[in-house]
């Protein structure tokens, strides 16, 4: 009886390994048990599999020849095209062949190609200036279509590259994407314009943020340790970055903004070149980056109105590292007391 499991081959290109570290956190039983539950077979992973040397080369060769079925090729890390387009900045150890050569060849055999992380999707951190390795993504070079496989690439099932963006992506995004693909529940219409699955890309990192009360009143943090909104002064891009980051916990609890670290928009193409890491760029005192889904004039009018109505509790707590003014106690007959 043929093996009906969904077969996955995972390669690490120009990568720090952070995406693999992220996926190891998925599930109380561990990633391998989770994959097994959904009938997903990890054929080989350079960091996690037991096969090395000749055994690993034999696996790659069998897939390349078509002797072994490949349902999903997962690439982690940027594709390094340098120097001068040769790809020789990264040779797959023991094969004498460039990573871009392997990726191109194996992609032609794959039912679907999955870019795990913003490096594989768009080029990511290695693509930032000065970029001596000529890094690119699989089907995007930053925000531009193209990349190592070209804008017109389609897998054997007709899908473009599926981009599980993030630096690193949430482990749930990675596993849920593989599960959806294994079940045949993820098609081209389920991807946004940058190739990201809509189940997480149809949200903003801002949604569900624990600092939203401060955002609503435009009560802003002034230091990284403050409890207020991080957008106005500390470079937070959560209102501009896609992802349900604040609607699901990371590593058991919390998120970037929960931990006091401003969102850097890591699911976005070109995030590595963005202005304003941990400091909000402004023109005439007005933040350059404003929410994606609100006209600038509306935001400015709302911000002025919100600041004029900010409760004392919210205003003082925003610039403290702990609650200095608790909510007022409920009065008999409804309402709160203690606010001035």
Residue 265 lies in a domain: yes
Q: What is the chain's mean pLDDT, rounded?
A: 91
Same domain, 141 and 257: no
Same domain, 185 and 217: no
**What is the pLDDT at residue 262?**
94
CA dist 189 and 201 (Å) reads 13
Say how many domains are in the chain.
Answer: 2
- Residue 304 confidence class, pLDDT cut points 50, 70, 90: confident
Is residue 193 within 8 A of residue 201, CB to CB? The reply is no
Structure tokens that stand for 90 in this block: 């990264």
Domain of 279: which CATH number? 4.10.480.10
**What is the pLDDT at residue 3?**
63
Same domain, 120 and 41: yes
Q: How many CA atoms lie within 13 A of 3 on its CB side?
A: 13
Domain boundary among 199, 226, 252: 199
Same domain, 148 and 220: no
Domain boundary among 149, 171, 199: 199
Per mean pLDDT, which range of 32-41, 177-186, 243-252, 325-334 is the poorest? 325-334
Residue 337 lies in a domain: no
**What is the pLDDT at residue 333?**
54
Residue 30 confidence (pLDDT) above 90: no
pTM score: 0.90
**What is the pLDDT at residue 213?**
93
The dihedrals phi and psi of 177, each to the nearest 5 degrees, come to -65, -45
Residue 334 lies in a domain: no
Q: Which long-range contacts (C-beta less than 8 Å, at least 24 apart) are formed by 81-89?
A: 81/133, 81/134, 81/135, 81/136, 81/148, 82/132, 82/133, 82/134, 82/135, 83/132, 83/133, 83/134, 84/134, 85/134, 89/14, 89/133, 89/134
Same domain, 100 and 243: no
pLDDT average, residue stretch 249-271: 91
Residue 200's contacts (CB-CB under 8 Å, 6 or more residues apart) are 170, 173, 242, 243, 244
Predicted confidence (pLDDT) per residue in 76-103, tens digit: 999 999 999 999 999 999 999 999 999 9
Structure tokens that stand for 87 in this block: 């790809």
Same domain, 65 and 139: yes
Range of the domain at 33: 6-199
Residue 223 lies in a domain: yes
Same domain, 223 and 152: no
Same domain, 151 and 247: no
Q: Name the DSSP letter for residue 233.
A: H
Residue 70 lies in a domain: yes
- Residue 9 confidence class, pLDDT cut points 50, 70, 90: very high
Same domain, 15 and 151: yes
pLDDT average, residue stretch 236-261: 91
The torsion angle over the Cα atoms of residues 33, 36, 42 and 46, rounded to 10 degrees, is: 10
Is residue 174 within 8 A of residue 167, CB to CB? The reply is no
Residue 248 lies in a domain: yes
Per DSSP bridges, beta strands 97-98 and 91-92 are antiparallel
**What is the pLDDT at residue 278?**
84
Q: Which comes out higher in pLDDT, residue 331 or 269?
A: 269
Query: DSSP string of 42-68?
Result: EEE-TTT-S--HHHHHHHHHHHHHTSS
Domain of 190: which CATH number? 3.40.50.700
Helix (H, G, I), strand (E, B) or coil at 319: coil
Residue 340 confidence (pLDDT) above 50: no
Same domain, 216 and 193: no
Residue 329 lies in a domain: no
Structure tokens that stand for 84 in this block: 């001068």
**What is the pLDDT at residue 191?**
98
Same domain, 104 and 228: no
CA dist 45 and 218 (Å) reads 46
Residue 332 confidence (pLDDT) above 60: no
Same domain, 160 and 220: no
Predicted confidence (pLDDT) per residue in 157-191, tens digit: 999 999 999 999 999 999 999 999 999 999 999 99
Structure tokens that stand for 16 in this block: 């720090």
Residue 128 lies in a domain: yes
Angle between helices 53-65 and 99-107 (to 10 degrees): 40
Residue 6 confidence (pLDDT) above 50: yes
- Residue 285 confidence class, pLDDT cut points 50, 70, 90: confident
Specify burial of residue 320 (Cβ count, 10 A radius: 0-12, 13-18, 19+). middle
């Amino acid at each position: 009886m043929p093996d009906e499991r969904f077969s996955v081959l995972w390669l690490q290109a120009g990568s720090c390994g952070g995406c693999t570290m992220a996926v190891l956190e998925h599930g109380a039983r561990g990633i391998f048990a989770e994959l097994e539950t959904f009938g997903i077979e990890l054929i080989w992973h350079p960091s996690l599999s037991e096969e090395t040397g000749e055994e690993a080369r034999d696996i790659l060769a069998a897939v390349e020849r078509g002797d072994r079925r490949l349902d999903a090729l997962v690439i982690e890390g940027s594709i390094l095209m340098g120097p001068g387009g040769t790809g020789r900045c990264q040779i797959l150890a023991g094969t004498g062949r460039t990573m871009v050569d392997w990726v191109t060849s194996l992609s032609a055999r794959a039912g679907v190609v999955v870019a795990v992380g913003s490096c594989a999707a768009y080029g990511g951190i290695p693509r930032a200036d000065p970029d001596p390795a000529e890094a690119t993504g699989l089907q995007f070079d930053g925000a531009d279509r193209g990349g190592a496989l070209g804008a017109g690439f389609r897998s054997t099932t007709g899908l473009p590259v599926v981009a599980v963006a993030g630096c690193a992506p949430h482990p749930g995004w990675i596993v849920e994407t593989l599960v959806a693909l294994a079940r045949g529940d993820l098609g081209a219409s389920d991807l946004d314009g940058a190739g990201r699955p809509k189940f997480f890309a149809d949200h903003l990192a801002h949604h569900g943020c624990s600092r939203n009360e401060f955002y609503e009143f435009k009560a802003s943090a002034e230091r990284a340790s403050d409890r207020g909104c991080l957008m106005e002064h500390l470079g937070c891009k959560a209102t501009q970055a896609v992802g349900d980051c604040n609607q699901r916990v990371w590593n058991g609890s919390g998120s970037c903004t929960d931990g006091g670290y401003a969102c850097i928009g890591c699911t976005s193409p070109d995030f590595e070149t963005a202005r304003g890491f941990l400091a909000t760029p402004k023109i005439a005192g007005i933040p350059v980056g404003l929410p994606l889904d609100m006209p600038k004039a509306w935001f400015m009018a709302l911000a002025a109105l919100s600041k004029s109505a900010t409760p004392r509790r919210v205003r003082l707590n925003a610039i403290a590292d702990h609650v200095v003014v608790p909510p007022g106690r409920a009065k008999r007959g409804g309402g709160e007391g203690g606010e001035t």
